[in-house]
Chain A
């Protein structure tokens, strides 16, 4: 099965990328967007019927995919 993990900076962290994107959209005339945040999507395959699938995903996130100091994640 295909697993999709969305990794984002924690809300309290200043994220200049999102602000930059907002400014660029504004300058193109799209001024209705606000509060833009940018994250990254990690997709991977896991065997169907994997035991303790959720624990496995949590472990790989904690161990490598996510920096818990500044990032949070969501399994989509």
Chain B
């Protein structure tokens, strides 16, 4: 053991000293590998833990909060929904196809390891400028990879986001979210209960995937060839995972499993340590029993991140039955160890003990940092010149900006209707699936406004969260709980650390006000290359419920002659960051004014109003207002036949952001009713105009409907092709 080796494994000398003092001896190489995996940011959240603890994580509907493979909420009757979002950023820059595919695979395992059948996925993906040399290659690879994995395993992809910004030029982001359905009495946890219980390995053989070769001491690697020293990319096999999923769900259905954990980041190391920790027990595992693809040393086995593998604890009397079910699905299965009462993690290899560590030192003593951070400086008030903007130029800027363009090129590569329960597909306000054999519907979205977070992390986060609520509410889905993926650059930079701390605070405040606890999530830090950090990108995955799937509200225009109404408070143009960025071309973050404060009371008031109007069948379709203002909302509501005629005294404000903004489409015959209801509820309602066959008119401006529709539909697919 020497300093260099310790530092190469990502531990500080202080951290090593803590371990050394506790154990009163030097670590073995294998044990060093374990700490390197378990004490890194991804596994122990050392930078973010202190702040994440402040988040609201429970209420009456939460069955399982953070701490297990996924969060679980009660959706009434016997039903529960498990969900989580996770990142696979760095691998998808190196190898976009496999990096993103394995991201999908990993999140799905987190769901079915708890006994829940996955019923939907969503993806939040972000890339650099299209003009950057690698962007198109990354977009193609990532979209193909997500599609490949999700389509093959047969789970519908129902929504997500796809954003482009130069700050992601060298650090593209792939956040994968999954949702699963489980009966409340059939949830499985990772906690083993029985001393003497068999620890079993289920799934693909182990290989060198994901082991970081280059900087490690050479004597820990197998001697076969040169390749053994190069880092290996994780390659996923969705067919294998489909078999694994069916096999595991069948085992759990037959109540043959005591506990289960998937082998994700840090493979068998993290899964066995977490199991031991949860059960307050010990594990003893023989590495010689692990099914291998190729010869591997003990160190390599411990750190391998080969995909499609699960660790489970079963009672000895169930061994034969388990074996037979897995044989049917042709899945590898080995008994590799036993649950003990020693509260230690023991790994053996070739008759030697290579790891002998108390669980406490790995888990409870894991470092928790309190990194210093800066609060953002107060912004000076700025003024801008909007004189060169008019409706035509603003509309043109929207239509030619790929961030506003229709993304069918992306989601036409994702199967969104497999499993036969999809109600709202990508392109709608939120993705919605019916809960099989019930009348309930689950809605989900992923949202983030990195520009807002950069300007004011706390308020920016609040705006992001309420926007995710609006996306659900506009479909008549009640937001219930949140999962979050915090993607940030280096926390060693005190400004960036400040963004992390404050956005968590903003999330806390909003989630508390609206009683939507955070039940799961993931943190991805160090997303930066040289001096270019990504914009702070805390992605919110929001999930909600509608008890009657027939009352789901569509997003798009329905009929010619329907009336267009709007609620919401427009922001001053000078306080609309996306307006300033996308219409005036502002780029330097110092040029922006501070964000307007998020108005929780107004958001709640409008949510309640909409739910009442939906109940009374007054609204035919609905969309929220966010980036691009009411005009962008209306464009996304258009169909190949239906446009809009609107009048407004302040045309430019039709492109600005709003607080608690929604567009509502009302049958002509109900116009009076909505006006009366708004008056009764003290809601500021504005009548904008009407839905019109094959026409667009904004005051006197009348662009050609077909041209606008074609550009909106094709801008992105035209630009992404070579």
Q: Using a CB–CB distance below 8 Å, which chain A residues touch chain B?
A: 23-24, 27
> In the complex, how many angstroms separate the beta carbon of B207 from the nearest chain A beta carbon?
19
A27 to B133, CA, bound (A): 13
Name B692-722 residues within 8 Å CB distance of A: 722
Chain A hits for B722, CB < 8 A: 23-24, 27
Interface of chain A: mostly helix, strand, loop or mixed:
helix
Chain B hits for A24, CB < 8 A: 722
Chain B hits for A23, CB < 8 A: 722
Chain B hits for A27, CB < 8 A: 722
Number of interface residues of B (CB under 8 A): 1
Q: Using a CB–CB distance below 8 Å, which chain B residues touch chain A?
A: 722
> In the complex, how many angstroms separate the beta carbon of A76 from the nearest chain B beta carbon?
25
Closest 3 CB pairs of A and B: A27-B722, A23-B722, A24-B722
A23 to B722, CA, bound (A): 9
> In the complex, how many angstroms separate the beta carbon of B390 from the nearest chain A beta carbon?
38
> In the complex, how many angstroms separate the beta carbon of A19 from the nearest chain B beta carbon?
13
Q: Which residue on chain A has the smallest CB distance to residue B722?
A: A27
> In the complex, how many angstroms separate the beta carbon of B315 from the nearest chain A beta carbon?
41
A8 to B11, CA, bound (A): 52
A59 to B722, CA, bound (A): 43
Q: Which residue on chain B has the smallest CB distance to residue A24?
A: B722
> In the complex, how many angstroms separate the beta carbon of B174 from the nearest chain A beta carbon?
23
Q: Which residue on chain B has the smallest CB distance to residue A28?
A: B722
A11 to B722, CA, bound (A): 27
Q: Give 3 A-B contacts (CB < 8 Å), ordered by A residue.
A: A23-B722, A24-B722, A27-B722
> In the complex, how many angstroms separate the beta carbon of B517 from the nearest chain A beta carbon?
48
A24 to B721, CA, bound (A): 11
A24 to B722, CA, bound (A): 8
> In the complex, how many angstroms separate the beta carbon of B615 from the nearest chain A beta carbon?
51
> In the complex, how many angstroms separate the beta carbon of A25 from the nearest chain B beta carbon?
11
Q: Which residue on chain B has the smallest CB distance to residue A20?
A: B722
Q: Which residue on chain B has the smallest CB distance to residue A27?
A: B722
> In the complex, how many angstroms separate the beta carbon of A28 from the nearest chain B beta carbon?
10
A27 to B722, CA, bound (A): 8
> In the complex, how many angstroms separate the beta carbon of B349 from the nearest chain A beta carbon?
31
A27 to B137, CA, bound (A): 13
> In the complex, how many angstroms separate the beta carbon of B396 from the nearest chain A beta carbon?
29
> In the complex, how many angstroms separate the beta carbon of A61 from the nearest chain B beta carbon?
23
> In the complex, how many angstroms separate the beta carbon of B132 from the nearest chain A beta carbon?
16
> In the complex, how many angstroms separate the beta carbon of B291 from the nearest chain A beta carbon?
22
A13 to B441, CA, bound (A): 46
A6 to B722, CA, bound (A): 30
> In the complex, how many angstroms separate the beta carbon of A30 from the nearest chain B beta carbon?
14
> In the complex, how many angstroms separate the beta carbon of B136 from the nearest chain A beta carbon?
10
A27 to B140, CA, bound (A): 16
> In the complex, how many angstroms separate the beta carbon of B140 from the nearest chain A beta carbon?
11
A32 to B647, CA, bound (A): 58
> In the complex, how many angstroms separate the beta carbon of B386 from the nearest chain A beta carbon?
40
> In the complex, how many angstroms separate the beta carbon of B143 from the nearest chain A beta carbon?
16
> In the complex, how many angstroms separate the beta carbon of A20 from the nearest chain B beta carbon?
10
> In the complex, how many angstroms separate the beta carbon of A16 from the nearest chain B beta carbon?
14
A5 to B722, CA, bound (A): 34
Q: Which residue on chain B has the smallest CB distance to residue A23?
A: B722
> In the complex, how many angstroms separate the beta carbon of B231 from the nearest chain A beta carbon?
26
A23 to B659, CA, bound (A): 48
> In the complex, how many angstroms separate the beta carbon of B97 from the nearest chain A beta carbon?
15
> In the complex, how many angstroms separate the beta carbon of B149 from the nearest chain A beta carbon?
21
A35 to B34, CA, bound (A): 52
Q: Which residue on chain B has the smallest CB distance to residue A26?
A: B722
> In the complex, how many angstroms separate the beta carbon of A8 from the nearest chain B beta carbon?
23
> In the complex, how many angstroms separate the beta carbon of B109 from the nearest chain A beta carbon?
30
> In the complex, how many angstroms separate the beta carbon of A23 from the nearest chain B beta carbon?
7
